[in-house]
Structure 1
């Protein structure tokens, strides 16, 4: 059994038998939640955007996001964190908490239990957009795609 970034095992036994195993991604696919069972996505979108910007700036540890993102998102963010740290080292800059404000959230729901959103982030020198796709899994939101533009 391999561990996922959020500490959950890659496979789980069903009914206590180790012979019959189920991939957790398949398990979560069966546990999809409808919009009525999920909380308002806007606060989660704002907080997740705030955390992602801080992670890329080196001011927050990526592990803090593991619970809220899928494995693919975690791996992609991990690569970006390494590249950003390497760029800071090359420039001789220390990681620092960025000054920014989270602006408007534009969201749509293409399917029940899925939210696609763009969150605007305003910094002194520029504005950025963070595109996030949330999927309802186990009565909570989880980010399956995050792109910082």
Structure 2
């Protein structure tokens, strides 16, 4: 007697469902098939600071972030917009200098990095984790400290 549809695991509704998810789910990419991560780390960091300053739309970074990292950046950008509005400060392009990029590779297709950025008021650190997915670097974790 076969199990009822309610008793079946969600992946087994159709024959071959496991095979389909293998093809359509995000695919891991090995480090040797990906470009050098340092330019990406520099560019995503500058992009994040531009989003927080209100001169870049967060949607422009969506393809480089996973869903969780994207949602957190959207929330933080909205808070920054409200803070600027409350103070009556217009959005201005930030002037930041990247002082250093420190990256380690704890596993194949994974980079963990810290980017030190000097701004006009203070020096900040951005911690990132990059994973190779679908032939490009994507960041599932991003923190501006």
TM-score by length of 1: 0.81
1:89 aligns with 2:85: yes
TM-score by length of 2: 0.83
In the alignment, structure 1 segments of 5+ residues that lack a partner are 1-16
Cα separation, 1, equivalents of 2:41 and 2:129: 9
1:118 aligns with 2:114: yes
Cα separation, 2, equivalents of 1:124 and 1:83: 20
- Aligned partner of 1:11 in structure 2 is none
- Aligned partner of 1:105 in structure 2 is 101
Cα separation, 1, equivalents of 2:17 and 2:29: 25
Number of aligned residue pairs: 129
In the alignment, structure 2 segments of 5+ residues that lack a partner are 1-13
Which digits, 9 at most, give the CA deviation of each residue in 1:12-50, with x for residues without a partner? xxxxx9x959679x711xx10111111100000000000
Q: How do residues 1-149 of structure 1 correspond to structure 2 at under 5 angstroms?
A: 27-28=25-26, 31-149=27-145
Aligned-residue offset at 1:124: 2.1
Higher strand share: 1
Runs of 4+ residues deviating >6 angstroms: 21-24
RMSD after superposition: 2.0
